[in-house]
Amino acid sequence: MIIDRLYEEVEKKGNVCVGLDTSMDYIPSNIIDRNKTIEDMIFEFNRRIIDSTIDIVPVYKVQIAFYEAYGIEGMLAYKRTLKYIRNKNALVIADIKRGDISSTASMYAKAHFHGDFESDFITLNPYMGLDSITPYLPYVEKKNKGLFILLRTSNEGAKDIQYLNIDNGQKVYNYVGDKLKEIATKQMGKCGYSSIGVVVGGTHLEEADEIRNRFENMFFLIPGYGAQGGKGRDVAHYLKDGNGGIVNSSRGIITAYKKYEDGVEKFEEYTRKAVLNMKEDISSESRVL
């Protein structure tokens, strides 16, 4: 199962998930060229990040909005990026956060698990109801694909809905998580985790251990590290024996070169350094727990 492969990659390479949230103003000046297309510049930027980190990164996350914003050329760069990662025998998450039902969800599933935009995992929003998840399950069951479904997110607005108290004082996100866990237990890998995982923001430490214990067999995609304020000591609580989750960082890695005077010339070097620093921060805190 795909989750077993992800688990093994984390065991070998650590927990860092590089988010390729690529904007043109993130790209070093030595890649910018008026004779190049937007597609080529975005892809070259992504390719150089991938090539300089692939031996220390278990999975990449490509946020589709950053590519949609540049129209057809952006989507061509998105397609090439996904294909490049998968051709390198690496894993990729398409961060699409779809949340619709019936035939619409079926078409989203087909679009992102097959053809030009094929990925290994996708992100989904369950807050329209569990029938918004159902159309994706055949791909998990029969096509070796995986899901990361929003549970408790890292943004401040998560408290508007996800933190509301319902029956017996439990939170909305716990109720949703329990429903997702029922589905996830039918897709368990040999590693002890399900190919249906959840997105759990790493910026709220106070309930970290409770969430990890409650959803112990669900693999976590953990945003919020770096630019959103999360640190190694925060996200380590969402892991289990150093595995069970991947920690995403986007701007903190792909724009790391901007902190240095010679950053443009040593773009790949500083990108790799940012990954290694993050990896050490997480692993050192995980060892303490």
Q: How far apart are CA 26 and CA 40, in angstroms?
A: 14
pLDDT tens, N- to C-terminus, the chain (289 residues): 999 999 999 999 999 999 999 999 999 999 999 899 999 999 999 999 999 999 999 999 999 999 999 999 999 999 999 999 999 999 999 999 999 998 999 999 999 999 999 999 999 999 999 999 999 999 999 999 999 999 998 888 888 988 899 877 789 999 999 999 999 999 999 999 999 999 999 877 778 899 999 999 999 999 988 766 667 888 999 999 999 999 999 999 999 999 999 999 999 999 999 999 999 999 988 765 5
Fold of 2-288: TIM Barrel (3.20.20)
CA angle 262, 266, 270 (to 5 degrees): 100
Does the annotation count 273 as an active-site position?
no
| Cβ partners under 8 Å of residue 214, min gap 6 | 174, 177, 178
Domain limits, the chain: 2-288
Is 0.85 topped by the overall pTM?
Answer: yes
One of 79, 97, 110, 273 is an active-site residue; which one? 97
Q: How far apart are CA 5 and CA 9, in angstroms?
A: 6
